[in-house]
Amino acid sequence: MQQADSTRPFKREDAGRRYAKTRYSGVFQRLVAWREQRLAKRLLAYPWADCNGHIVDLPCGYGRFYPLLKQMDFKVSAMDQSQAMVDIYSDQDRFDAADHAERADVLEPLPPQAAPARRALCVRLFQHLHHPELRVRALQTLAGEGRQIVMTYYDDGSLHYWTKRAAMRLKGKKVRVKMIPRAAFESEVEQVGLRVLKRVKLFPGIHAQTWVLLAPR
């Protein structure tokens, strides 16, 4: 089973650009985006002796976190399953010549240019990976040979879990977002030789999104 079975990558650049313009246009979504930037910066600032200033941004999307990564002086290897998103990312006026962006699948080994990176950023992917074996494979790719990882997943211990399920049932639809019990997530993390250093909720008790900082055991 490939990542495409759990996600729907953009195939056309115009669709990706529309998404970039509208995804965080509402008041609450702008608040979510602001909070995500704050949490990413907070966890990426955590001391890491093995950091070499090179980070993997996967999935990179349209480049929402790129300005932050450059503000923090990272060399960036940006990857996404969608070639349309990769093109948008690398087409930014501020895209640095030292960085690179290319299509890649988180369930496969990283491209050679990204392999030396000692950190990884993975935002809003794991809620789309519904099967434990896929999440473990993705963690193995992100961890590589001893990377520190800043990432998100959706924890089922929140009001968001129940409201999402209720809303989808009323609409007669399946819940597309996978919310993972904390114990299950930590078990998957341990399987690939990682441990949770930090855990922060996006909006405690209200939103299921959970940010974690993972490091080799």
Q: Tens of pLDDT along 47-66? A: 999 999 999 999 999 999 99
- Mean pLDDT (the chain, rounded): 88
pLDDT-derived band of residue 5, with 50, 70 and 90 as boundaries?
Answer: very low
CA–CA–CA angle 13, 6, 55 (5° rounding): 65
CB 190 within 8 A of CB 172: no
pTM (two decimals): 0.87
- Asked if the model's pLDDT at residue 7 lies above 60, the reply is no
Give the tens place of pLDDT for each residue, 100-132. Answer: 999 999 999 999 999 999 999 999 999 999 999
- The fold for domain 27-216 equals Rossmann fold (3.40.50)
Question: In sequence order, what are the residues at sequence separation of 6 or more whose Cβ sits closer than 8 angstroms to the Cβ of residue 54?
Answer: 74, 75, 76, 77, 116, 117, 118, 119
Which DSSP letter does residue 181 get? -
Q: Within 10 A of 51 (CB to CB), how many other CB atoms are there?
A: 16
- Asked if the model's pLDDT at residue 16 lies above 80, the reply is no
- Nearest one of 75, 88, 81 to 114, comparing CA atoms: 75
- Nearest one of 15, 114, 18 to 58, comparing CA atoms: 114
How many angstroms from the chain centroid is the CA of residue 51?
19
The phi and psi torsions of 142 (rounded to 5 degrees) equal: -65, -40
**Range in 16-30, 54-68, 76-90, 193-207 with the lowest mean pLDDT:** 16-30
pLDDT-derived band of residue 206, with 50, 70 and 90 as boundaries?
Answer: confident
Strand ranges (DSSP E) for the chain?
54-57, 75-80, 100-103, 119-122, 148-154, 194-201, 209-216
Lateral strand order in the sheet of 194-201: 100-103, 75-80, 54-57, 119-122, 148-154, 209-216, 194-201
Helix, strand, coil percent content, the chain, rounded in steps of 5: 40, 20, 40
